[in-house]
Amino acid sequence: MQLRYNYRVYPTPGQRVELARAFGCARVVYNDALIARREAFAAGQRVSDAELSKRLTAAKATSERAWLDQVSSVVLQQALADLNTAYRNFFESVVGKRKGARVAPPKLRSRKDNRQSIRFTRNARFRVLANRRLRLPKVGDVPVRWSRELPCEPSSVTVIKDATGRYFASFVVDVETEPLPPTDSDTGIDLGLTTFAVLSDGRIIDSQRFLRQAERKLANAQKSLSRKAKDSGNRAKARIKVARAHAKVADTRRDWAHKQSTIIIRDNQAVYVEDLRIKALARTRMAKSVHDAGWGMFIRMLEEKAARYGRTFGKVNRFFPSTQMCSVCGALDGKKPLQIREWSCRCGAVHDRDVNAARNILAAGRADSPTPVELVSASVSVEQPAMKQEPTGSAAQPTLAGIPILQGGEDVNPAGRPAGHPAVRLPARRRSRR
């Protein structure tokens, strides 16, 4: 599998000039190729990738584009590759081959963009020197702050300049999976806003509210920026202060999410979460809190680390009634307002709202995973569409390849169910006809 290792780099003033020139040349090549493709499309023609590469070579021989020779040719070719990838993703999204949100067509790049980047591949012959510096063609030997060692020789490196003026080197390396020692613990996770996450074993991860804590500082910085004259030096300095304040919030949230996801993957053999529609939740009155929580980033980290360390990761259908169902007897108790944090089932069990939901998510995830779980057959009817307890497809989708998924209605050995987690009846699945 491929991983990225990011490091902070500190180019000298002269090297910053060379990097700025490389950023500009790559941007011009990208924009020229995009304009050529648009003109060809308007004329009913098609420009191939090879034709664009030939046009780039010919442009270097002209007086208008002779300065493109001042940077590495690999950087320019990678700019064309980025455009080809952008168009490929756009076309695959239009025809439905690409999953996820619809991808927009490529647009022109600007020198005022907050993020500038260039990429060097092995053909550029970049390398890490014995003095721990990174040698980049036509840039020089750039000092790197090595926070950890590279696991192997990188296949490419991307030099990035962010909105705050910081420079980073992002190495792509090919690594083998590193399975962790197996454990007997599985967990279900119920994500929230008041508490970031509640695990099925009762563990609570508090919400840090990074953006809320920094709101006053961000407001002051933004107010100072709004008072500066446009295109002035003071406005540029104020803009960097705002960018640094936002970068600090984002970096802190990302670091915290990495630590929490690593602990969960290390301590559990299987992890199951609810398949939340985060984009829809971000359009509600809770939008700021949803974005501040960073659910999407956290779930993505869990999935990636599970694949890397040999763990099982699954998502439970978002319509599964994890909050309405009793984790002891499996009875549905109806919808509950958010202010109800505890409730009692008719079987006598008293539930904490979030812990009960996490246990139901764990049971639903195990129902479609190789982990044994007993499916009892007494209290839940599938004829309750108003409760939305019946998923249209599989309740959970484990990412561990090569393991058969259990079919609805199968009874498996309940020996794998830990103590304190009784059997839960799950709604049967309907076979969809296409």
User: 32, 274, 292, 374: which is the annotated catalytic residue?
Assistant: 274
Output the six-digit token pair for 265: 């993957």
Bridge partner residues of 274 (DSSP)? 316
State whether the Cα torsion 406-411-413-419 is positive or negative.
positive
**Which residue among 303, 354, 368, 390 is the active-site one?**
354
DSSP 397-410: ----TT-PPPPTT-
Looking at residue 369, its pLDDT comes to 67
Cβ atoms 293, 196 nearer than 8 A: yes
354 an active-site residue?
yes
Helix, strand, coil percent content, the chain, rounded in steps of 5: 40, 15, 45
Task: Clarify whether 201 is annotated catalytic.
Answer: no
**Whole-number Å distance between alpha carbons of 202 and 301:** 22
pLDDT of 45-75, one tens digit each? Answer: 999 999 999 999 999 999 999 999 999 999 9
What is the C-alpha separation between 119 and 172, in angstroms, rounded?
A: 11
Q: Which residues of the chain carry a pLDDT beneath 70?
A: 369-434
What is the C-alpha to C-alpha distance for residues 410 and 423, in angstroms, rounded to an integer? 14
Under a CB-based contact definition with an 8 Å cutoff, are residues 40 and 46 in contact? yes
pLDDT of residue 119: 97
Give the rounded distance of the alpha carbon of 408 from its chain centre.
31
What pLDDT is attached to residue 22? 97
Phi, psi angles (nearest 5°) of residue 174: -100, 120
Find tokens 């962010």 and name the residue: 162
Using alpha carbons, select from 325, 324, 423, 299 the residue that is nearest to residue 367. Answer: 423
**DSSP letter string, 331-345:** -B-----TT--EEE-
Strand pairing report for 342-344 and 350-352? antiparallel
Amino acid identity for residue 181 in this structure: P
Strand 116-121 and strand 156-161: pairing? antiparallel
Distance in angstroms (rounded) separating the CA atoms of residues 184 and 182: 7
pTM for the whole structure: 0.79
The pairing of strands 156-161 and 167-174 is antiparallel
- CA dihedral of residues 401, 407, 408, 411 (deg, nearest 10): -110
274 is catalytic: yes
Q: How many residues does the chain have?
A: 434
Q: What is the pLDDT of residues 285-334, one digit of tens each?
A: 999 999 999 999 999 999 999 999 999 999 999 899 888 889 888 888 88
Query: Taking the mean position of all CA atoms in its chain, how far away is CA 65?
Result: 38
**From CA 40, how far away is CA 51, in angstroms rounded?**
12
Residue 262, amino acid: T
Which pLDDT score, from 0 to 100, does residue 335 have?
Answer: 86
Beta-strand ranges (E) seen in 102-177 are 116-121, 127-128, 133-136, 140-145, 156-161, 167-174
User: If we measure between CA atoms, which residue out of 363, 370, 364 comes closest to residue 312?
Assistant: 370
Contact 413, 420 (CB under 8 A): no
Report the largest interatomic distance among the alpha carbons of the chain, rounded to a whole angstrom: 85
Please give the pLDDT value at position 160: 97
pLDDT at 35: 96
Element (H, E) at 33: helix 13-42
In DSSP terms, which residues pair with 273 in a beta bridge? 189, 315
Of 190, 201, 292, 390, which one is the catalytic site residue? 190
SS3 219: helix
Q: What is the CA radius of gyration of the chain?
A: 26
